[in-house]
Structure 1
């Protein structure tokens, strides 16, 4: 760490500065040592490489997420500033909007994706998870990413939404585009954007009302949007945001969950002894190995951040990078934060954000995590790594591209 006065000048207290690159391959592969460095540097850090502010402690990240009037989303939740450059695609009416527009859009989705509506899916989702896990266990081993984490969400979630079956292979590439676009225009962004045109064309077409199953959540969302005065194209943008929130984060979360359980056999044994802990286990995965690592906000006014040395002033209009993954391992918030413990009460983690912009698809993702971990707990006696895992580097998400595991079926 180095010291810097940041962009304001001599009038403000010097804030700790860092030349860390949170979008480098080294950082994305293993962010945790750097997370510790950022947290210990102070409640706010100036990242010299990108000339942005960073917050990595739980208290500050949580406070920023819950204060959209000060830390806005309409300037973009990535490094790009929508007030100064054109977004790569039309901004999300949910993710990249502020009140009152965001409040209105959120209400449209919330009328469709209600807790009772999600609970009604549980039996069908559990049946699907049981069948998929049974087929994998019968083989004695499988790749937990390509054969489980990617398969279940890309089948179950689009069925519920009512998407066309043909073309669903575009969902994962679209998610890679969206989440990599929140970072700089680096190698990961450019790789994700290769072949973008057919992917975007399918997503756009599949979000239109005529493409959707009339009984699915997508059609209901269109109806809810119409009743609130949205045009068909605006309703399609709302559905697009729903798709972005409902697939990739779940894929990464499921892969991370299997990795955590395979690497901590005592915790898998505890889950096997009590499969009703599946929901709590998934929550601990979201804390310990957060799929969503970062999101940006933009200050709407000058913000004062208290530090032990005094007050740091962040100017209005500056980008602030919030490290959700680092906050979830902050020893100021959690006992033994570096330990994976499914008996932990992980309430308060920021794996799906917090405040009015918390992930709109989190109820669905939690359900998918619960049913898959329940199926594993009931059908697998032993779960162990069968080879080296390979990370999938993404400017926003943290997870795996390959995870071979060996399993022994339960009696």
Structure 2
């Protein structure tokens, strides 16, 4: 790799590969080491600066003039070029314009209209699983509701829905480095591009959906037609994988910390805060990159213009400088200011829908399940998403 950066001798550096299998499975000791090393640490392997402390992560995310998303948020440059035209890879005012195109579908009022139907789906799903007694909390719970809700929300046809998870996973692998894992996903990315391209070309999206709003913007001349696929992809991956990750992580944590489930079950009003605590402790997206537009300073460390900065949300959410006992799962913790859904103008646009889905499932479970017993679990290995491939649980119904 050609180095664009030669860090000063006093700046901490590391040769750790954050995207190795071992680091994906167990990243938290490394995150702590990065936080302790300094405000910024140079990652030799990827010629990238890593920011891991809560204070500085918020600073970077807030300052879009200095830390730009327009150059892409991936660790690798080839995929950054593919992200052009998305809200993810844009800055104000272009970002605000693009986000405004889908904003109507994401307002609290618009999402509220969907709430009752989502809660009914959650009730039926949970009732069936609890009646069985044992199930996989990833494949049979966490994936089921988002895979029902999100494609309808975007307006996708039935054809192709069976590939959505593979495609979304490939997107997040590509946002990391172009390692072997990301390269294996390249055929899936090509298939996803063809799929979305065909939808745009033929207009085969549901009237009134988010996708229909994107196509309408093109017909009205607000965006080029060629930008439609990027805007539709912008929402698809995060809306699926991050929600599935958070729901699966919730069940895993509640099966390990049964006293926390008791608190939620006894007081369901804790569910929104408990979900925030899940997202803090097991943040779905480990981090995205920014690019410096000028020489700047982070915590007293000078970084030149045109440098890549990896913003580690997952590390910031366990920062001892911000949180007391950050490794502890506590559903009563005041945690509304976590950065698990990002922060600032690039805060997750789909978090409202994710919260409705997760809250609905947890509410239904709290009404039926006295406790979870963890039977076994398997980590999913993805460059960016923190998730499980499988979580086998046995539930004890209330009153049993």
Q: Same fold (TM over 0.5)?
A: yes
Match of 2:22 in 1: 26
Match of 1:384 among 370, 373, 394: 373
Contact kept, 8 Å, 1:13 with 1:313, in 2: the verdict is no
Contact kept, 8 Å, 2:102 with 2:210, in 1: the verdict is no
Match of 1:248 among 241, 254, 274: 241
Name the SS for the 2:97 alignment partner: helix
Match of 2:383 in 1: 395
In 1, the alpha carbon distance for the partners of 2:189 and 2:99 equals 28
In 1, the alpha carbon distance for the partners of 2:79 and 2:243 equals 29
Answering whether residue 194 of structure 2 is matched by residue 201 of structure 1, we say: yes
- How much is the aligned-residue C-alpha RMSD, in angstroms? 1.9
Question: Unmatched 5+ residue regions in structure 1?
Answer: 1-5
Give 1:13 shift. 6.5
Question: Unmatched 5+ residue regions in structure 2?
Answer: none
Contact kept, 8 Å, 2:167 with 2:188, in 1: the verdict is no
Give 1:181 shift. 0.6
Give 1:90 shift. 5.1
Give 1:197 shift. 3.5
In 2, the alpha carbon distance for the partners of 1:74 and 1:180 equals 20
Contact kept, 8 Å, 1:262 with 1:384, in 2: the verdict is yes
Match of 1:369 among 358, 374, 389: 358
Give 1:276 shift. 2.3
Task: Report which of the two has the higher share of helix.
Answer: 2
Answering whether residue 264 of structure 2 is matched by residue 271 of structure 1, we say: yes
1:133-282 alignment, distance < 5 Å: 133-207=126-200, 210-224=203-217, 226-227=219-220, 229-282=222-275
In 1, the alpha carbon distance for the partners of 2:60 and 2:237 equals 23
Give 1:88 shift. 6.7
CA displacement 1:35-87 (0-9 Å, x = unmatched): 11011111111112222111110000111011111011111101123xxx475
Contact kept, 8 Å, 1:17 with 1:46, in 2: the verdict is yes
Give 1:304 shift. 1.6
Contact kept, 8 Å, 2:287 with 2:310, in 1: the verdict is yes
Contact kept, 8 Å, 2:374 with 2:393, in 1: the verdict is yes
59-68 or 185-194, larger mean C-alpha shift: 185-194
Answering whether residue 34 of structure 2 is matched by residue 38 of structure 1, we say: yes
Match of 1:296 in 2: 289
Match of 1:68 in 2: 64
Match of 1:127 in 2: 120
Match of 2:308 in 1: 319
Match of 1:407 in 2: 395
Match of 1:351 among 340, 345, 350: 340
Give 1:333 shift. 0.9
- Per the alignment, do residues 196 and 86 of structure 1 end up closer, same or farther by CA in structure 2, a change over 3 Å counting? closer
TM-score norm. by structure 2 comes to 0.94
1:330-341 alignment, distance < 5 Å: 330-341=319-330
In 2, the alpha carbon distance for the partners of 1:208 and 1:58 equals 43
Give 1:324 shift. 0.4
Contact kept, 8 Å, 2:255 with 2:374, in 1: the verdict is yes
CA displacement 1:184-223 (0-9 Å, x = unmatched): 1212112223444333322332355721111323223433
Name the SS for the 2:73 alignment partner: coil
In 2, the alpha carbon distance for the partners of 1:207 and 1:127 equals 31
Contact kept, 8 Å, 2:83 with 2:89, in 1: the verdict is no
